[in-house]
Structure 1
Amino acid sequence: MLYFLIIIGFVLSFLLSVIIIPRILVVAYRKRLFDIPNERKVHHGIIPRLGGISFVPAILFSISFTTGLRYLIGYEISGDMLCIIIPEFYFFICGLTLLYLAGIKDDLVGLRYRSKFVVQIIAASLIPLSGLWINNLYGILGIHELAPWLGIPLTILVVVFICNAINMIDGIDGLASGLSIISLGLLGSLYLSDCQWIYASLAFSVLGTLLPFFYYNVFGKANHCTKIFMGDTGSLTLGYILAFLAICYTRVNPEIHPPYSSGVIIIAFSSLIVPAFDLIRVVLIRARNHKPLFLADRNHIHHKCLSAGLTGRKAVICMLGLACAFILLNMVLINTINNNFILVLDILLWFASIEWLNKSKEHVNDK
């Protein structure tokens, strides 16, 4: 029955997204709320960037409905679990709401990056306030259990980092949503295998919301008024949800689940390697060139794909394939080698991918 409830949540969020997105398109075109092309952006034509407005209402409706239905049919959550889940989800929703409102303002009239950064830090701080924080690194860099004074700031840093990673990878159609779909599918499956129903329900509700958006974003036509972007409203809230789910899965708490194997942290974050490594690389390049760290440019990996001669869709397929390669590689290796060696192999695979794109770009330029 609990599997059936998760399916209901997925279907509900999917249908709500199908209903809401066309209406957002109508309002956006009537009020002329468009993302105007410039020299940095790769799209052509006027396209609304308010697709992310549909995410949070659809997600909260489906997760609330299925949780209420669960109680009505007698599948109540135990009291011990409720003491942990209620503060986690309440503070999570508070942080999600802050980012949702900040994203809407940014997409409609613009928001200074410093103001947006402050909102991100406040929203990220709400997660450890609920009692959820990264309390174990499972041997990465030789570190295992973390004290609160170290784990709580690290959690805030990780949440802000993932929010910005998803935000900055959102440069071509289907990339941010496609990477998020892969990550949500992985995390949702991990939670299902561990019988963590409420977290699995959240993951698959978000997944259901993203699928219709992915269709409109990738296959919609600007000249037919059916194409839409997620904007900061979507990318910031998606990053926040992914960070919450990944941190929940990696925390050590015997009251919720037995201790996981040491590879759990690698698997939970493996689907986020592409946006995470890309953000680190771009920030380091900007720092080396003495440019503002958050000044937009064309140094992201998807820009490299386009410069190497790939079309937008081929670039997305390439990046999604790379994300799946990281997941498969890490899943194969977690039970055989140390986490630190896996991390080194991930970094080497990343640099090999960048080097291949650089050589492909040089080949295109030579032509």
Structure 2
Amino acid sequence: MTLYLITGALTALITFALAWVVWKLALRYRIHPAIRERDVHTTPTPRLGGVAMFLGVAVAFLFSSQNPFFALIWADPVPMLAVLGATLLIVIVGVADDLWDLDWMIKLGAQFLAAGVIVWFGQLQISSLPIGGMTVGSSWMSFVLTVLSIVLVMNAVNFIDGLDGLVAGVCLISNGVFFVYSYLLVRDTGASTYFNLASFLAIVLVGACVGFLPFNWHPAKMFMGDAGALMLGLLMATSAVAITGQIQPAMLDPDQFGRSQLLGAFIPILLPVAVVLLPLLDFGLAVVRRLRAGKSPFAPDRKHLHHRMLDMGHSDLYAVLIFYAWTAVIGLAVLLMYIATRENWFGQYWIGVGFGVLGAAACLVVTLSPRRRRVPTTPQESL
């Protein structure tokens, strides 16, 4: 655990220092795009935060390659280099889009290519699910399912990048919860070492978000842009695949989950989905909304969940804090369900269910009770 925390702290410090450098250079050379109609901010702001975040992640990879504790994943360096190479590809495309607004087909093609590199060369695939021994039908079906899952999470995370500190904070909370979960899961399955790729990626992403958030907090000095949001989505999905796709049903004894064997079997795949539930919900609503209007699923509009909260009367900061609360409640509820069933707590999974119900009720009250009323305006286009 100590080396995990050191890795996260190192990533945060490097990201913070490089974010300051990138911010200064962007201001000096005016490297920032013009304000678009769909943007919420009113002052030209650099969008190169993703560059600093990627460099912080790259330093963490370099640190791990030289540390004996992480020797397990570097025994064969090809998968790790594949993950890093795919991340570099998506960051380059994201920076290009932030500066020159690329066609959505180019961005989507790059996302599929990056996901394909991780699955093919990184040797990370969803081959089995811990539900009654269920396995994916074939290697090609596994490949397609994994690639689609990674691309889905990338776009879901990118879609909610619309307010100061929103994505950085949501991903910080999500990856923090997922780090604890993956660490405990490996411990509970009786592994000889508690180190695993999923926990490593999760703590690195926590560090990157912690280091960048001071520059992105309202009012933001710099945005992470598509480069940062797509990178976060890519590595979050990779982390989930690394832990979920490699769990063998025999490793988790359903009898130990207490009163609900079915729930116990579902928890290992439920939490990876829960930590990105809000981005996935927003993405799904956007796709359905745009297709019903006869538009491309990637056509911009101003009807995302965070835009709706602004239109309800929430301030930018208050809307972001509400998103944080929802993310924490959903993630912690499922995590508590897992911990309670494994530790045989009194009430077992109902502890997590109760926390989730009470937390969701509180979040719902706050969400539906804006602090001020906003005069309705004509919707403007936004991602």
- TM-score bin, normalised by smaller chain: 0.7 to 0.9
Which residue of the partner structure matches residue 103 of structure 2? 112
TM-superposed CA distance for 1:14, in Å, is: 1.6
TM-superposed CA distance for 1:47, in Å, is: 0.7
TM-superposed CA distance for 1:192, in Å, is: 2.5
TM-superposed CA distance for 1:238, in Å, is: 0.8
Separation (CA, whole Å) in 2 of partners of 1:76 and 1:312: 40
Separation (CA, whole Å) in 1 of partners of 2:364 and 2:147: 30
Separation (CA, whole Å) in 2 of partners of 1:292 and 1:19: 39
SS in 1 for 2:251: coil
145-154 vs 118-127, greater mean Cα deviation: 145-154
The count of corresponding residues between Structure 1 and Structure 2 is 340
TM-superposed CA distance for 1:168, in Å, is: 1.0
TM-superposed CA distance for 1:297, in Å, is: 0.6
**Structure 1 counterpart of 2:127, one-letter code:** N
TM-superposed CA distance for 1:42, in Å, is: 0.8
Which residue of the partner structure matches residue 134 of structure 1? 126
Which residue of the partner structure matches residue 224 of structure 1? none
Query: Are 2:337 and 1:330 equivalent residues in the alignment?
Result: no
Which residue of the partner structure matches residue 259 of structure 2? none
**Structure 1 counterpart of 2:41, one-letter code:** H
Q: Are 1:252 and 1:259, in contact at CA under 8 Å, matched by a contact in 2? A: no
Q: Where do 1:188-267 residues align within 5 Å?
A: 188-193=179-184, 194=186, 195-220=194-219, 227-253=221-247, 258-259=251-252, 262=265, 263-267=267-271
Unaligned runs of 5+ in 1: 222-226
The 1:13/1:191 distance shift into structure 2, 3 A limit, reads same
Separation (CA, whole Å) in 2 of partners of 1:353 and 1:329: 16
Query: What are the superposed Cα offsets for residues 138-177 of structure 1, whole Å, 9 maximum, x if unpaired?
Result: 44xx993212232221111111111111111100011111
Which residue of the partner structure matches residue 146 of structure 1? 136
Which residue of the partner structure matches residue 55 of structure 1? 53
**Structure 1 counterpart of 2:136, one-letter code:** L
Separation (CA, whole Å) in 1 of partners of 2:308 and 2:70: 50
Which residue of the partner structure matches residue 166 of structure 2? 175
Query: Are 2:148 and 1:157 equivalent residues in the alignment?
Result: yes
Q: Are 1:50 and 1:230, in contact at CA under 8 Å, matched by a contact in 2? A: yes
Separation (CA, whole Å) in 2 of partners of 1:113 and 1:169: 16
Separation (CA, whole Å) in 2 of partners of 1:365 and 1:36: 26
TM-superposed CA distance for 1:281, in Å, is: 0.6
Which residue of the partner structure matches residue 93 of structure 1? 84
TM-superposed CA distance for 1:77, in Å, is: 3.5
Which residue of the partner structure matches residue 34 of structure 2? 36
Q: Are 2:12 and 2:212, in contact at CA under 8 Å, matched by a contact in 1? A: no
Query: What are the superposed Cα offsets for residues 279-302 of structure 1, whole Å, 9 maximum, x if unpaired?
Result: 001110111111221111111000
Separation (CA, whole Å) in 2 of partners of 1:253 and 1:332: 20
Separation (CA, whole Å) in 1 of partners of 2:70 and 2:8: 20
Query: What are the superposed Cα offsets for residues 229-281 of structure 1, whole Å, 9 maximum, x if unpaired?
Result: 00111011111010000111111355xx9348521010122110000111001
The 1:292/1:317 distance shift into structure 2, 3 A limit, reads same
**Structure 2 counterpart of 1:231, one-letter code:** G
SS in 1 for 2:222: coil
TM-score, normalisation: structure 2: 0.79
SS in 1 for 2:71: coil
TM-superposed CA distance for 1:198, in Å, is: 4.4
Separation (CA, whole Å) in 1 of partners of 2:205 and 2:335: 24
101-110 vs 172-181, greater mean Cα deviation: 101-110
SS in 2 for 1:284: helix
Q: Are 1:134 and 1:251, in contact at CA under 8 Å, matched by a contact in 2? A: yes
Separation (CA, whole Å) in 2 of partners of 1:116 and 1:179: 23
TM-superposed CA distance for 1:319, in Å, is: 1.1
Which residue of the partner structure matches residue 191 of structure 2? none
Separation (CA, whole Å) in 1 of partners of 2:5 and 2:145: 34
Report % sequence identity.
Answer: 26
**Structure 2 counterpart of 1:145, one-letter code:** T
Which residue of 98, 104, 116 corresponds with 1:125? Answer: 116
RMSD of aligned alpha carbons: 3.2
**Structure 1 counterpart of 2:124, one-letter code:** L
Separation (CA, whole Å) in 2 of partners of 1:111 and 1:38: 14
Q: Are 2:129 and 2:245, in contact at CA under 8 Å, matched by a contact in 1? A: no
190-199 vs 240-249, greater mean Cα deviation: 190-199
Unaligned runs of 5+ in 2: 187-193, 254-263, 342-347, 377-383
Query: What are the superposed Cα offsets for residues 304-331 of structure 1, whole Å, 9 maximum, x if unpaired?
Result: 1101100011101111111122223334
Which residue of the partner structure matches residue 283 of structure 2? 279
